[in-house]
Amino acid sequence: MSKAIKETHFSFPAQKGFYKGKVRDVYMFDKELVIVASDRISAFDVVLPRAIPFKGQVLNQIAAGFLKATADLVPNWVIATPDPSVTIGKRCEPFKVEMVIRGYLAGHAAREYALGKRTLCGVPMPEGLKENDAFPTPIITPTTKASEGHDEDISREAILAKGIVSEEDYLVLEKYTRALFQRGQEMAKEKGLILVDTKYEFGKADGKIYLIDEIHTPDSSRYFYAEGYEENQKQGLPQKQLSKEFVRQWLIANGFQGKEGQVVPEMSDELVESISDRYIELFEKITGNAFIRAETTDIATRIEKSILDYLAN
C-alpha cells in the first residue's frame, strides 16, 4: 500500500508560527504562509484516523490549477507551488466566514430540506424540489469559520448584524463567490461534470481582498457526472458523485455523524485505497490530465527540501 503523510513537524529559518488545521499544516512567516497539504481526511468536522495516500497532492494540484484559471476574476494568495503537496502564498487576515454556494439541492441542503425546512441561512428554497434538482439560481449559504468544532450555518443578515464582515466587504465576497462558481461550473461542464456546490474562503492583506485556501477540490466541492444526470433525476436514482460525500455516506452507514459519544468506525486498508483511487479519479476527470504520483519513499524529507530550496532563493 502507498505511503501517506499524516503530519509534519518542520522548523524553518525566519518561521514566525505554526498552525495545524484539519488537513493542512501551516507555517507562518512575516508576509508569507507555507501550507503543506497533508493526506489527512476530515468529515463531519472530525479528522479520521487514517491518512489517504496522494490525497494532499490531489487537492494541492487541483487547487493550483483552478486558482491560476480564475486569477483574472479574483486576486488570490498563491505565490508558488514548489512541491506537489505545498503551496506558498501571501499571508492574509482570513474573514471568519466561509462562502458556501449551492447550485443544486444536495448534501446538507438536501438533508435540511428533507426535514421540512424551506429556508437555509436565511435564503428561501422553493417547494417541490427533489434531491439533486437544480435551484432556479445558485444560493449562497454561508457558515461561520470555527477554529475548533463545527462550522455553523449563518445568514447574511446575522453576519452583518454581528459585524463579522462589513457590508462593503461582504458585497465583494458575494460578487466574487458568484463569479468563481460560474467559472467553476463552466470548466466542469467542459470535462463532462457538474459542479454542484462548493465553498470559498477569503482574506485581506494591505486593504485588498484575496481568495485564499483551495478551490474546486473534492474536499471543498461536490461534483456529479453530467452523463446520466437527467435520466437519474427522472427515475429518482442517486447521482454518481465525485466528492467527499461517499466518505460521509460510509460513515453515516456505520453509525457516525460526528455527534457526541459516536466513535469513528475502523477504516480498512481496502477502504483507504478505494478513497485514494476516488481522489485520483477526480483529479484526472476534472483536469483532463493523467495523475503523476509524487515520490513517496520519504515524503517528509521531499517536502522539507522543496520548501527549504524555495526559502533559500
Distance of CA 221 to the CA centre of its chain: 6
Same-domain pairing of 70 and 146 = no
Q: Which residues of 77-108 are buried (b: 16+ CB within 10 A; e: fewer)?
A: bbeebbbbbbbbbbbbeebebbbbbbbbbbbe
Task: Tell me if 248 is assigned to some domain.
Answer: no
Task: Tell me if 67 is assigned to some domain.
Answer: yes
Residue 163 has pLDDT above 60, yes or no: yes
Same-domain pairing of 59 and 109 = no
Task: Tell me if 220 is assigned to some domain.
Answer: yes
Residue 210 CA to residue 75 CA, distance in Å, equals: 5
Contacts of residue 82, defined as CB under 8 A and 6 or more positions apart, other chains included, come to: 88, 306, 307, 309, 310
Same-domain pairing of 148 and 184 = yes
Residue 311 has pLDDT above 60, yes or no: yes
Residue 193 has pLDDT above 70, yes or no: yes
**β-bridge partners, 97:** 144
Report in angstroms the alpha-carbon separations of 250 from 115, 116, 257, 271: 21, 24, 10, 10
> Residue 45: its pLDDT value, please?
84
Q: What is the pLDDT of residues 104-156, one digit of tens each?
A: 999 999 999 999 999 999 999 999 999 999 999 999 999 998 665 567 999 99
Same-domain pairing of 125 and 233 = yes
> Residue 158: its pLDDT value, please?
96
Task: Tell me if 12 is assigned to some domain.
Answer: no
Count of alpha carbons within 13 Å of 283, Cβ hemisphere only?
23
Same-domain pairing of 66 and 160 = no
Q: What is the CATH number of the domain that holds 295?
A: 3.30.200.20
* Beta-carbon count within 10 A of 70 CB: 21
Percent of the chain's residues with pLDDT above 90: 87
Same-domain pairing of 138 and 192 = yes
Residue 183 has pLDDT above 80, yes or no: yes
Same-domain pairing of 186 and 152 = yes
Residue 185 CA to residue 16 CA, distance in Å, equals: 38
Same-domain pairing of 28 and 153 = no
Same-domain pairing of 54 and 195 = no
Same-domain pairing of 218 and 98 = yes
Task: Tell me if 154 is assigned to some domain.
Answer: yes
**β-bridge partners, 210:** 203
Report in angstroms the alpha-carbon separations of 309 from 83, 123, 186, 302: 10, 48, 37, 11
Grouping H, G, I as helix, E, B as strand and the rest as coil, residue 249 is helix
Confidence band (pLDDT; 50, 70, 90) for 281? confident
> Residue 150: its pLDDT value, please?
64
Of 229, 251, 253, 249, which Cα lies nearest the Cα of 130?
Answer: 229
Residue 252 has pLDDT above 90, yes or no: yes
Same-domain pairing of 81 and 100 = no
The whole domain housing 78 covers 17-92+272-312
> Residue 219: its pLDDT value, please?
81
> Residue 2: its pLDDT value, please?
81
* Region of poorest pLDDT, from 82-91, 170-179, 238-247: 238-247
Q: Is 24 exposed, middle or buried (0-12, 13-18, 19+ CB in 10 A)?
A: buried
Q: Are strands 241-243 and 221-225 parallel, antiparallel or unpaired?
A: antiparallel
Residue 78 CA to residue 69 CA, distance in Å, equals: 12
Percent of the chain's residues with pLDDT above 70: 98
Task: Tell me if 301 is assigned to some domain.
Answer: yes
> Residue 245: its pLDDT value, please?
77
Helix orientation angle between 167-190 and 55-69, rounded to the nearest 10 degrees: 110
Task: Tell me if 22 is assigned to some domain.
Answer: yes
> Residue 149: its pLDDT value, please?
56
The helices-and-strands tally (H runs, E runs) of the chain is: 8, 17
Average pLDDT, the chain: 94
- E strands, the chain, in order: 17-20, 24-28, 32-37, 42-43, 46-47, 78-83, 86-90, 93-94, 97-104, 119-120, 123-124, 134-140, 143-144, 193-205, 208-212, 221-225, 241-243
> Residue 244: its pLDDT value, please?
80
Number of domains in the chain: 2
Dihedrals phi, psi of 176, to nearest 5 degrees: -65, -40
**Quick one: average pLDDT of 293-300?**
94
Residue 292 has pLDDT above 80, yes or no: yes
**Quick one: average pLDDT of 150-167?**
93
Same-domain pairing of 125 and 155 = yes
Task: Tell me if 76 is assigned to some domain.
Answer: yes
Q: What is the CATH number of the domain that holds 238?
A: 3.30.470.20
Q: Could you give the angle at the alpha carbon of 131 between the alpha carbons of 127 and 136, nearest 5°?
A: 50
Count of alpha carbons within 13 Å of 62, Cβ hemisphere only?
29
